[in-house]
A = this chain, B = another copy of it.
Amino acid sequence: MSNNRLSSVANAARVLKAFTASHPSWGVTELANHLELSKSSVHRILSTLVDSAMLEQHQNGRYGVGLAMFDLAAAAPTQRGLHEALLLPMTELRNRTGETVQVGVLDGRQVVYVERLDSPHTLRFFADMGRRNDAHCTGSGKALLAFAAPPLRDRVLKSWVLPARTAHTITSVPELKKQLALIRRRGYSENRHESEIGIVSIAAPIRDASGMTIAAMSVAGPAERIDAQHQAVTDAVIALSRVTSSRLGYTG
Protein backbone atom coordinates (compact mmCIF):
# COMPACT_ATOMS: atom_id res chain seq x y z
CA MET A 1 0.00 0.00 0.00
CA SER A 2 1.19 3.49 -0.76
CA ASN A 3 3.04 5.46 1.84
CA ASN A 4 0.99 6.80 4.71
CA ARG A 5 -2.23 4.89 4.08
CA LEU A 6 -3.85 2.18 6.18
CA SER A 7 -4.82 -0.89 4.17
CA SER A 8 -7.27 -2.19 6.76
CA VAL A 9 -9.02 1.20 6.89
CA ALA A 10 -9.07 1.32 3.09
CA ASN A 11 -10.65 -2.14 3.06
CA ALA A 12 -13.20 -1.05 5.63
CA ALA A 13 -14.08 1.91 3.40
CA ARG A 14 -14.51 -0.47 0.47
CA VAL A 15 -16.84 -2.55 2.64
CA LEU A 16 -18.89 0.51 3.57
CA LYS A 17 -19.12 1.71 0.00
CA ALA A 18 -20.52 -1.63 -1.11
CA PHE A 19 -23.77 -0.68 0.61
CA THR A 20 -25.88 1.26 -1.86
CA ALA A 21 -29.54 1.98 -2.47
CA SER A 22 -29.53 -0.73 -5.11
CA HIS A 23 -27.64 -3.25 -2.92
CA PRO A 24 -28.42 -2.35 0.69
CA SER A 25 -27.72 -5.73 2.28
CA TRP A 26 -24.74 -8.16 2.00
CA GLY A 27 -23.76 -11.53 3.42
CA VAL A 28 -20.16 -12.20 4.51
CA THR A 29 -19.33 -14.66 1.74
CA GLU A 30 -21.06 -12.64 -0.95
CA LEU A 31 -19.19 -9.47 0.05
CA ALA A 32 -15.84 -11.28 0.32
CA ASN A 33 -16.29 -12.59 -3.22
CA HIS A 34 -17.36 -9.18 -4.47
CA LEU A 35 -14.36 -7.38 -2.93
CA GLU A 36 -11.89 -10.26 -3.49
CA LEU A 37 -10.96 -10.35 0.21
CA SER A 38 -10.93 -13.37 2.51
CA LYS A 39 -14.07 -14.22 4.46
CA SER A 40 -12.32 -13.84 7.80
CA SER A 41 -11.05 -10.37 6.90
CA VAL A 42 -14.50 -9.26 5.76
CA HIS A 43 -16.07 -10.76 8.85
CA ARG A 44 -13.68 -8.92 11.15
CA ILE A 45 -14.32 -5.60 9.35
CA LEU A 46 -18.10 -6.09 9.43
CA SER A 47 -18.07 -6.98 13.14
CA THR A 48 -15.96 -3.96 13.98
CA LEU A 49 -18.28 -1.66 12.02
CA VAL A 50 -21.32 -3.19 13.73
CA ASP A 51 -19.73 -2.43 17.12
CA SER A 52 -19.35 1.16 15.93
CA ALA A 53 -23.01 1.40 14.77
CA MET A 54 -21.85 2.19 11.24
CA LEU A 55 -23.46 -1.09 10.15
CA GLU A 56 -25.98 -3.45 11.69
CA GLN A 57 -26.57 -7.18 11.37
CA HIS A 58 -30.06 -8.50 10.75
CA GLN A 59 -31.63 -11.68 12.04
CA ASN A 60 -30.86 -13.51 8.79
CA GLY A 61 -27.16 -12.88 9.34
CA ARG A 62 -26.90 -10.28 6.59
CA TYR A 63 -25.47 -6.80 7.13
CA GLY A 64 -26.87 -3.34 6.35
CA VAL A 65 -26.15 0.31 7.05
CA GLY A 66 -26.58 1.44 10.66
CA LEU A 67 -28.03 4.55 12.23
CA ALA A 68 -24.65 6.27 12.58
CA MET A 69 -24.87 6.86 8.84
CA PHE A 70 -27.80 9.22 9.34
CA ASP A 71 -25.68 11.37 11.60
CA LEU A 72 -22.84 11.38 9.09
CA ALA A 73 -25.19 12.22 6.27
CA ALA A 74 -26.48 15.13 8.32
CA ALA A 75 -22.93 16.47 8.52
CA ALA A 76 -22.39 16.38 4.80
CA PRO A 77 -24.25 19.39 3.33
CA THR A 78 -23.64 21.61 6.33
CA GLN A 79 -19.92 21.68 5.75
CA ARG A 80 -20.13 22.48 2.09
CA GLY A 81 -20.84 26.11 2.85
CA LEU A 82 -23.80 26.08 0.50
CA HIS A 83 -26.53 25.29 2.91
CA GLU A 84 -27.29 28.67 4.37
CA ALA A 85 -26.93 30.43 1.04
CA LEU A 86 -29.48 28.08 -0.50
CA LEU A 87 -32.32 28.16 1.95
CA LEU A 88 -34.28 31.18 0.77
CA PRO A 89 -33.52 30.97 -2.97
CA MET A 90 -34.54 27.32 -3.14
CA THR A 91 -37.71 28.01 -1.19
CA GLU A 92 -38.61 30.91 -3.46
CA LEU A 93 -37.92 28.83 -6.55
CA ARG A 94 -40.05 25.99 -5.25
CA ASN A 95 -42.87 28.35 -4.32
CA ARG A 96 -42.73 30.14 -7.68
CA THR A 97 -42.73 26.97 -9.78
CA GLY A 98 -44.48 24.47 -7.54
CA GLU A 99 -41.95 21.83 -8.60
CA THR A 100 -39.04 19.98 -6.97
CA VAL A 101 -35.83 22.01 -6.69
CA GLN A 102 -32.42 20.36 -6.36
CA VAL A 103 -28.82 21.45 -6.11
CA GLY A 104 -26.12 19.15 -7.43
CA VAL A 105 -22.31 19.01 -7.60
CA LEU A 106 -20.13 17.30 -10.17
CA ASP A 107 -18.35 14.11 -9.14
CA GLY A 108 -16.42 12.68 -12.07
CA ARG A 109 -19.03 11.99 -14.74
CA GLN A 110 -21.95 12.10 -12.38
CA VAL A 111 -23.95 14.70 -10.55
CA VAL A 112 -24.63 14.21 -6.83
CA TYR A 113 -27.68 15.99 -5.49
CA VAL A 114 -26.67 17.49 -2.17
CA GLU A 115 -29.77 19.62 -1.50
CA ARG A 116 -33.37 19.18 -2.39
CA LEU A 117 -36.73 20.80 -1.74
CA ASP A 118 -39.69 18.78 -2.84
CA SER A 119 -42.72 19.77 -4.78
CA PRO A 120 -45.99 19.28 -2.88
CA HIS A 121 -46.87 16.94 -5.74
CA THR A 122 -43.92 14.64 -5.10
CA LEU A 123 -44.44 11.10 -3.91
CA ARG A 124 -40.73 10.62 -3.37
CA PHE A 125 -38.73 10.75 -0.14
CA PHE A 126 -35.47 12.25 0.90
CA ALA A 127 -34.21 8.70 0.92
CA ASP A 128 -33.41 9.64 -2.62
CA MET A 129 -31.19 12.44 -1.35
CA GLY A 130 -27.54 12.09 -2.14
CA ARG A 131 -28.76 10.38 -5.23
CA ARG A 132 -26.32 10.51 -8.03
CA ASN A 133 -27.15 10.48 -11.70
CA ASP A 134 -25.26 10.65 -14.95
CA ALA A 135 -24.04 14.13 -15.74
CA HIS A 136 -24.57 13.94 -19.51
CA CYS A 137 -28.34 13.45 -19.38
CA THR A 138 -29.51 15.66 -16.50
CA GLY A 139 -30.13 19.40 -16.35
CA SER A 140 -27.77 19.80 -13.40
CA GLY A 141 -25.10 17.63 -14.92
CA LYS A 142 -25.08 19.44 -18.23
CA ALA A 143 -25.00 22.83 -16.47
CA LEU A 144 -22.06 21.70 -14.35
CA LEU A 145 -20.17 20.46 -17.42
CA ALA A 146 -20.98 23.53 -19.52
CA PHE A 147 -19.73 25.98 -16.90
CA ALA A 148 -16.86 23.88 -15.56
CA ALA A 149 -13.32 25.14 -15.95
CA PRO A 150 -12.18 24.02 -19.45
CA PRO A 151 -9.36 21.72 -18.20
CA LEU A 152 -11.81 19.87 -15.94
CA ARG A 153 -14.41 19.66 -18.70
CA ASP A 154 -11.87 18.36 -21.21
CA ARG A 155 -10.70 15.72 -18.74
CA VAL A 156 -14.27 14.51 -18.13
CA LEU A 157 -15.22 14.51 -21.84
CA LYS A 158 -12.07 12.71 -22.98
CA SER A 159 -12.75 9.10 -24.01
CA TRP A 160 -16.21 9.17 -22.46
CA VAL A 161 -18.59 6.50 -23.75
CA LEU A 162 -21.97 8.05 -22.96
CA PRO A 163 -24.60 5.51 -21.83
CA ALA A 164 -28.06 5.90 -23.35
CA ARG A 165 -30.78 6.12 -20.70
CA THR A 166 -33.66 6.82 -23.13
CA ALA A 167 -33.95 7.22 -26.90
CA HIS A 168 -33.38 10.96 -26.34
CA THR A 169 -30.08 10.68 -24.48
CA ILE A 170 -27.06 12.32 -26.10
CA THR A 171 -24.58 9.53 -26.80
CA SER A 172 -21.76 11.22 -28.73
CA VAL A 173 -19.11 13.52 -27.28
CA PRO A 174 -19.15 15.97 -30.26
CA GLU A 175 -22.92 16.37 -29.94
CA LEU A 176 -22.62 16.90 -26.20
CA LYS A 177 -19.93 19.55 -26.76
CA LYS A 178 -22.21 21.37 -29.15
CA GLN A 179 -25.00 21.38 -26.63
CA LEU A 180 -22.70 22.53 -23.83
CA ALA A 181 -21.68 25.51 -26.01
CA LEU A 182 -25.35 26.36 -26.51
CA ILE A 183 -25.93 26.10 -22.75
CA ARG A 184 -23.06 28.48 -22.05
CA ARG A 185 -24.48 31.00 -24.54
CA ARG A 186 -28.00 31.00 -23.20
CA GLY A 187 -27.09 30.57 -19.51
CA TYR A 188 -29.22 27.53 -18.64
CA SER A 189 -29.46 23.82 -19.48
CA GLU A 190 -32.38 21.55 -20.14
CA ASN A 191 -32.93 17.81 -19.90
CA ARG A 192 -35.87 16.71 -22.05
CA HIS A 193 -36.67 13.04 -21.52
CA GLU A 194 -32.93 12.29 -21.57
CA SER A 195 -32.59 10.69 -18.13
CA GLU A 196 -36.16 9.43 -17.87
CA ILE A 197 -39.07 9.53 -20.27
CA GLY A 198 -41.66 12.09 -19.18
CA ILE A 199 -39.31 14.17 -17.00
CA VAL A 200 -37.92 17.58 -17.91
CA SER A 201 -35.43 19.61 -15.84
CA ILE A 202 -34.00 23.09 -16.22
CA ALA A 203 -30.76 24.09 -14.47
CA ALA A 204 -28.35 26.98 -14.09
CA PRO A 205 -24.90 27.28 -12.48
CA ILE A 206 -24.07 28.48 -8.97
CA ARG A 207 -20.75 30.31 -8.75
CA ASP A 208 -18.55 31.18 -5.79
CA ALA A 209 -16.62 34.38 -5.06
CA SER A 210 -13.80 33.37 -7.40
CA GLY A 211 -16.23 32.87 -10.27
CA MET A 212 -15.89 29.11 -10.23
CA THR A 213 -18.99 26.99 -10.82
CA ILE A 214 -19.37 24.87 -7.70
CA ALA A 215 -22.96 23.60 -8.03
CA ALA A 216 -26.05 23.78 -10.22
CA MET A 217 -29.61 24.55 -9.21
CA SER A 218 -32.45 22.84 -11.05
CA VAL A 219 -36.20 22.45 -11.24
CA ALA A 220 -37.50 19.09 -12.38
CA GLY A 221 -40.95 17.68 -13.03
CA PRO A 222 -43.29 16.03 -15.53
CA ALA A 223 -42.91 17.48 -19.01
CA GLU A 224 -46.50 18.74 -19.23
CA ARG A 225 -46.29 20.77 -16.04
CA ILE A 226 -42.84 22.22 -16.79
CA ASP A 227 -43.75 23.04 -20.39
CA ALA A 228 -46.96 24.76 -19.33
CA GLN A 229 -44.85 27.43 -17.59
CA HIS A 230 -41.55 26.92 -19.37
CA GLN A 231 -40.49 30.53 -19.72
CA ALA A 232 -41.41 31.33 -16.13
CA VAL A 233 -39.49 28.35 -14.79
CA THR A 234 -36.43 29.17 -16.91
CA ASP A 235 -36.43 32.81 -15.79
CA ALA A 236 -36.85 31.78 -12.16
CA VAL A 237 -34.03 29.20 -12.25
CA ILE A 238 -31.63 31.71 -13.80
CA ALA A 239 -32.63 34.46 -11.37
CA LEU A 240 -32.40 32.34 -8.25
CA SER A 241 -29.14 30.67 -9.14
CA ARG A 242 -27.76 34.18 -9.56
CA VAL A 243 -29.16 35.19 -6.16
CA THR A 244 -27.42 32.20 -4.65
CA SER A 245 -24.16 33.03 -6.41
CA SER A 246 -24.36 36.59 -5.07
CA ARG A 247 -24.83 35.27 -1.57
CA LEU A 248 -21.64 33.26 -2.05
CA GLY A 249 -19.73 36.39 -3.03
CA TYR A 250 -19.91 36.19 -6.84
CA THR A 251 -19.93 39.64 -8.44
CA GLY A 252 -19.70 38.87 -12.18
Q: Which residues of A contact B (CB under 8 A)?
A: 4-6, 8-10, 12-14, 16-17, 19-21, 23-25, 43-45, 47-49, 51-54, 64-80, 83, 86-88, 90-91, 105, 107, 112-118, 120, 123, 125-132
Contact = CB atoms under 8 A, between A and B. Distances in A.
B4 A71 contact: no
Given A64-B80, A70-B73, A71-B130, 5 more contacts: A6-B12, A67-B105, A116-B125, A116-B126, A118-B118
A75 B20 contact: yes
A123 B116 CA distance: 11
Contacts of A70: 73, 76, 112-114, 129-132
Nearest to A21: B74
B75 A65 contact: yes
A114 B64 CA distance: 14
A74 B130 contact: yes
A75 B19 contact: yes
Question: Which of A51, A71, A88, A105 is most buried by chain B, counting CB atoms within 10 A of its CB?
Answer: A71
A134 to B, nearest CB: 15
B78 A127 contact: yes
Contacts of A74: 20-21, 127-131
Nearest to A26: B79
Nearest to A18: B75
Contacts of A21: 71, 74-75, 78
